[in-house]
């Protein structure tokens, strides 16, 4: 085996060991909703809605664009298998709930090129924005101190975080959560 091949095996082993440790420590769990209706974590509501990221065409999109909707914000990456696995469910649920005042936004912790390539190869009916790895601290300030992916927030109109989900979320769980937050 070549030196590069051995290095790849070692990196893969270390990554697998880290994921196993994270999972055994309870990595996949729903986090409790924020206690305060005024601030999503250390960010104020104004700071949360002022966050803006480029879409795959390079247009800056502030989260305030959707502040009057129930907002599902999914932090994901193209290199994250659980993230990629949940996106088809998120896409289906986003279409099912679009006329009920629910907006989905994917914040890619990845490069613009990777996210653009992904958006060309997969059908995702909601905006995929380029957050990049520099936005990892934003996840921590929103209640994900481990900065692990995938991480999903459901935010009420006006900015109150109703649910934090660390780890993948299947379509049925997502629908159940949304149904409990929407009127009749």
| Annotated catalytic residue within 31, 77, 80, 178 | 80
Measured distance CA(157)–CA(145) in Å, rounded: 24
Q: 21-56 in b/e burial notation, b at 16+ Cβ within 10 A?
A: eeeeeeeeeebebbeeeebbbebebebbbebebebb
DSSP 122: S
Place of tokens 């986003």: 94
Structure tokens at 184: 């009749």
Measured distance CA(88)–CA(124) in Å, rounded: 8
Structure tokens at 173: 């769980």
Measured distance CA(42)–CA(34) in Å, rounded: 11
Cα four-point dihedral sign 23, 162, 66, 143? negative
Strand-pairing partners, residue 72, are 104, 154
| Annotated catalytic residue within 71, 83, 105, 129 | 83
152 given a catalytic annotation: no
128 given a catalytic annotation: no
Residues annotated catalytic, as ranges: 80, 83
């Amino acid at each position: 085996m070549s030196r590069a091949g051995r290095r790849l095996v070692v990196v893969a082993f270390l990554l697998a060991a880290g994921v196993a440790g994270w999972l055994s420590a309870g990595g996949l769990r729903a986090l409790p909703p924020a206690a305060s209706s005024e601030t999503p974590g250390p960010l104020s509501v104004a700071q949360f809605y002022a966050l803006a990221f480029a879409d795959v065409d390079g247009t800056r999109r502030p989260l305030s664009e959707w502040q009057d909707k129930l907002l599902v914000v999914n932090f994901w990456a193209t290199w994250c298998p659980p993230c990629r696995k949940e996106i088809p469910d998120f896409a289906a649920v986003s279409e099912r709930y679009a006329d009920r005042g629910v907006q989905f936004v994917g914040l890619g912790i990845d490069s613009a090129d990777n996210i653009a390539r992904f958006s060309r190869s997969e059908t995702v009916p909601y905006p995929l924005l380029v957050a990049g790895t520099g936005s990892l601290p934003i996840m921590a300030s929103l209640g994900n101190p481990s900065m692990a992916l995938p991480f999903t927030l459901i935010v009420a109109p006006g900015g109150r975080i109703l649910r934090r989900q660390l780890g993948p979320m299947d379509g049925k769980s997502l629908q159940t959560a949304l149904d409990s937050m929407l009127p009749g």
